[in-house]
Chain A
Amino acid sequence: MTPPASGDTATLIAIDRVGKVYEGRGSPVVAIDEVSLDIGRNQFVAIVGTSGCGKSTLLNMVAGLDDPTSGSIAIDGRPVLGPGRDRGFVFQSYSLFDWMTVRGNIRFALEKTRMPAAEKAALVDRFIREVGLAGFEDAYPRQLSGGMRQRVAIARALVYKPAILLMDEPFGALDAQTRGMMQELLLNVWEDNRVTVMFVTHDVDEAVFLADRVIVMASRPGRVKKDIAIDIPRPRSFEVLTDPDFTRFKREILADIREETLKVMAMERP
């Protein structure tokens, strides 16, 4: 019953020798250097690395919110020229429209969708139930907890059926218990609505638990250090966290990140 963990073989996101250089005062800073990645359709890819490895920059470039200084990114063969409705985005800071209700926030994402109003309403309601917010349809974001707000953001980013979901440390601001629940919820939602996910985090447990594939990035400049296939079977639940395979992946990734951290610290030493 379980779909193949690695997703379809067809490449959806093609990142080809992408570089990003910031021209600041003084010498230019290379944030990302020659990153190449092919991400298959419906694959769940987590990107981890120390802060400053350019993982968020890479995600923003795939979203079209930021431009690469070299190389190119293509979605389904078409080059990325700006943001588009084929890619949903979930920010760490929730970024909900505070003046709209839960329902209003999610419905707002459907405004550009041609669909009868009744169908839209049904779709919005389905997603509200999907993220477990039934009963909170008419609440305003400020009345909700952080976890609930992020669930609204996830529903808003998925309701218009983008092919790709981009998530930038979406659970980074939540407490540990809430984060665990949100990870399981995300997997459930993802099982029901298969999309290609690029998930940026600095939490190794989170990356291994969620992803089919973890990309470990090296720092200064940001490069792909390692590309690890996580072949833990799905559907996964919290019990996976004590699985020997899980621990093995975690140890490997932690060692890689530690190596990068030490490298950065050595560079910073006067």
Chain B
Amino acid sequence: MKTDTIRTGTKAMPPRPRRRGLFRLRQDIPAPIYSAAGIAVPLVLLLIWWAVTSLGIVRPLFLPSPMEIVAEGWRQLREGILWADASVSMYRILVGWLAATVIAVPIGVLMGSYRIVEGALEPLISTVRYMPVVALIPLSILWAGIGDVQKILILFLGTFFQQVLLIMDNVKNIDMNLIRAGQTLGMRNIEILMRIVIPAASPGIWDTFRITIGWTWTYLVVAELVAASEGLGRRIMDAQRYLATDTILFGTLFIGLLGLLTDVAFKRFGRAMFHWNR
């Protein structure tokens, strides 16, 4: 008995410990650790920021301290500037993005469904989307004046061309057999587009919405570069003249924050809407 055990080595060999640790390729880690890592990194950066400014290593002109940023934010909030700027900017973002979306969805769906439409439009759009939107500011003023329409036009141009190509891809990614299933059920093309293609592509399209509204936010400063009297982007450009670095930094961070909130809202809403997609 005993010799048997020794020979086969079952007793001598301790069970091999399961490999643990946070650095296994593609392996899941506990959710609290995952979240903690995401909080820790910005916190450390904030700490470094606070340290270099309060120890006087960097002059406030180049980098104001975190407390100064908070104070600046509080001032803008108290004076009502923040709300005025934010509401004007959010209005522009919303209208610019919606205008782009309302046109990009049907065109993107058609491009993704009909090769002829893709062939006709894809080369054009792929070229246009690499043209710098900033360079179009003078033309946009000539076409749309110096009011809100011009800002919205810039946001539209920055969003539309990217969005339409992404939506085309969303539509092309659906299983071809879904379309064929519709055909074998005797459905016409328009019915297949409305009742099969669009619903099937909708989780992907929603993701495109989320990504592109983020891009619209990044174009805000460009849109408010010229002839704007208020807006979050305008505030930043004005502060440049007086070297008000606290205003610049606060504005930048605040735009980032609003962008993040938009993103989270889209994610939450999408998860509820497309529950069937797991």
Determine, out of B57-65, B178-186, B244-252, the stretch whose residues face the partner at the interface: B178-186
Query: In the complex, A89 Cα to B176 Cα: how many Å?
Result: 14
User: Do A142 and B276 touch (CB < 8 A)?
Assistant: yes
Chain B residue numbers with a CB within 8 Å of A141 are: 276
**Chain A interface mostly:** loop
What is the count of residue pairs linking A and B with beta-carbon distances less than 8 angstroms? Answer: 62
Selected contact of B276 from candidates A65, A89, A98, CB within 8 Å: A98
A190 at interface (Cβ–Cβ under 8 A)?
A: no
B278 at interface (Cβ–Cβ under 8 A)?
A: yes
A91 at interface (Cβ–Cβ under 8 A)?
A: yes
Chain B residue numbers with a CB within 8 Å of A142 are: 276-278
A91-B199 contact given A98-B277, A112-B186, A142-B278, CB 8 Å threshold: no
B81 at interface (Cβ–Cβ under 8 A)?
A: no
User: Do A109 and B200 touch (CB < 8 A)?
Assistant: no
Query: In the complex, A63 Cα to B181 Cα: how many Å?
Result: 11
User: Do A89 and B200 touch (CB < 8 A)?
Assistant: no
Size of the chain A interface, CB-CB below 8 angstroms: 28
A89-B278 contact given A99-B200, A112-B186, CB 8 Å threshold: no
Per the 8 Å Cβ criterion, residues 68-106 of A in contact with B are 82-85, 87-89, 91, 93, 95, 97-100
User: Do A63 and B184 touch (CB < 8 A)?
Assistant: yes
A246 at interface (Cβ–Cβ under 8 A)?
A: no
Chain A residue numbers with a CB within 8 Å of B181 are: 89, 91, 95, 97, 156
A108 at interface (Cβ–Cβ under 8 A)?
A: yes
User: Do B177 and A83 touch (CB < 8 A)?
Assistant: no
A contact set with B: CB distance below 8 Å: 63-65, 82-85, 87-89, 91, 93, 95, 97-100, 108-109, 111-112, 140-142, 156-157, 160, 166
13 chain-A/chain-B pairs, Cβ below 8 angstroms: A63-B180, A65-B180, A65-B184, A84-B184, A88-B184, A91-B177, A95-B175, A97-B181, A99-B202, A99-B274, A99-B276, A111-B185, A142-B277
Contacts A95-B175, A111-B185, A156-B181 known; list 20 others, CB within 8 Å: A63-B180, A63-B184, A65-B180, A83-B180, A83-B186, A85-B185, A88-B184, A89-B181, A89-B184, A91-B180, A93-B175, A95-B177, A95-B180, A95-B181, A98-B200, A99-B202, A99-B277, A100-B276, A112-B186, A142-B278
Q: For the complex of A and B, list the 4 residue pairs with the smallest distance between their C-beta atoms, beginning with the closest.
A: A95-B177, A83-B183, A85-B186, A89-B184
